[in-house]
A and B are shown apart, each in its own frame.
Chain A
């Protein structure tokens, strides 16, 4: 039995608000594993503010790797293996069963849970986790991550966060929000009456960089998530945008333009000295560090329309990497460096495509959303979150890198744009 205490990023600034985004799974995996998450036992005098079993159920279901069982169909609600009648769950065609108990623990909560194999009738996972009284959701996501990792072999990302921008219809208010990866616990971390765009996480997950127009031109800011402290980092005369941290967090790639000629720059974050790495008269923009920490993917109009290129930061050599279609832009890479995803445009159609870095094979991942943009890859490389347009509104949607799993995160009001998925936070 393992006991672990959760360390969770404390957000001191920004006001809490009800979750604006609610996940709707639109397409699951054919091979999704049937799993039943039984409501967890709690014997406290008062009800709990969060339903841990339900959160775990939603996490696993939204991943597309699992097909969860509706509670109303359950024939019994066991909390320990001893209480399980396997035949019930076999009849319901389940492969896995999750049972658990929540208890008070030093002012917080402890959750002991087990994952049972319905066919072999044995315990696969037996685990205990505890956290503070305010961390029920974190406990739930921790459990989801643990189960997901053990059963799929892929690290779970349910405890990760995202930042995104929301705006009103009039575009007179722009909010930079911070929320759980499932859209819950949204917090406003910066607000402006001018546009905010291109949020990017530092690799340690402690701060975000973004572009703000608050001073009448585009400038790059850093903001510490724990303290809310902001720092103006690039505010040269002209336009400054597209921040991207190097994998080791020591450098920042960005775009600077004066008089209509955007180029890629890299700033050493210790010395704050920047170097210009491209000097083409075309548009060079959207830099993204590759996992090797040496190359940068970027978008350039040097061949006419936008295409993705690879820049060597050591010798400044440039190599084109996209060739299919007239509009390929805004590349992001999976953590293993094997695939990139980007916006692929064809006439009025803009979709998210993935491309194998080695073979160059391209696959269009999204067909049922429109005007897709701003893809951001989950830190485990499984899903891509992106912004799309639906009935004149901007929503967030997600698709697995293999195109099999899809879900939407519509907002209750306004437009949601520019999602950025956090690294795995420890």
Chain B
């Protein structure tokens, strides 16, 4: 039996690697809330990821439940925030973009499906007040 060469193995693995690098995104921040996105069919990909800011709403993950309970919480960047902090968050996110891109800033709402609409509406009102009007409700594609 002839020994077969393993030198092409690294090429194959590298190819895998590049595939994963292209198709995935780095986890931007630690998730401190549990979020199960609702299902939807009429959804589209977000066009400009660099112009997107995320607002996460859900109940705290197991590690934080002892301290924060299981009530719905808002996570902006890396900490729990209240609805009133949204305005500052939007302002700083907007500041970090360059001038030409600012009108295209999108706020992606990553909201757990069990959340009550009251919270969601408060957030939406606050977004309107900070004139961040382009929003997107993130969802999972449901099986047809």
A and B held together in a complex: no
